[in-house]
Structure 1
Amino acid sequence: MITGRQRTEQLLIIEMLVSVTIDGADPLRAETKAAAACLSAAVTETIAGLPFDAATKLYGRRDRLFARFVRPHQRPGMRVATFGLAVFHLLKGLTESGTLSVVDGSAVSAALDLILPGLEPAASDPVTFARARKIAFEILDALQGEGLFPGATIRSPDDA
């Protein structure tokens, strides 16, 4: 059974992906609409079976954590692709450490299939890639300070 902490973690990751999609893509493109629909379905999957009050509390916690620990890394003038790559690095670290699983065929998996190709050009820029990795490391470190994503690791940006 999924715990409240795990639901909060999932909702945070989904919210990060929503932010990348909304801030970085043309809302009229079919791929953007499809990614948004997938992410909406992922939220529904995450809160399925919860009473309204419990879901509302989870949304509130997600929003507070996002505002405190994620939003500051989305600086004015920053390329959306940099934050998108940071989310990619975070997801990679979470999945590689077994903290989070992205199930093939899930709504999150479908959204990633639509989002990740848009980040490929930025991923080829070593400066953007390194900056995004540093942001992912900082976000994970801050969230772990709040008791989230225990055991997850991302290689330090200083590691070779």
Structure 2
Amino acid sequence: MKALLQRVSEARVEIAGECAGRIGRGLLVLVCAERGDDEAVGERLLAKILKLRIFSDDAGKMNRSVQDVGGGLLIVSQFTLAADASGGNRPSFTQAAPPDEGRRLYDAFVARARALHPEVATGVFGADMQVHLVNDGPVTIPLQMAP
């Protein structure tokens, strides 16, 4: 499972002009389930995300987690994180989990996040979404957990 984290001062996702999810300070989490992933992989990835120290402490060092700062999570499905562009100019997405499996794993990831963290907003799996964010720093961190 792959994720791309962006530390944000605010973020929202819109679908057909309507806001589907919004957070203030926190993390925009673009997440992609890949072939072979299961719920355990998602749980390990989420644990890493919640504990990753990428928010500044009083001395200005990245030493605090999203939980430490009381930040929100905006979780958005993003199958294009599985893109392989090594074979030409058109990316292949064959490593992405099939849609039904991807939806199941995304839903499990979101449910677990809601059980562990007080503020979780989402996009809609498979929807055409517009993501708006103010990247704080900028700080952008790619993560990957293998099955």
- TM-score between both structures, scaled by the size of structure 1: 0.29
Instruction: From the two aligned structures, give the one with the greater strand fraction.
Output: 2
- TM-score between both structures, scaled by the size of structure 2: 0.31
Higher relative contact order (CA 8 A, sep 6+): 2
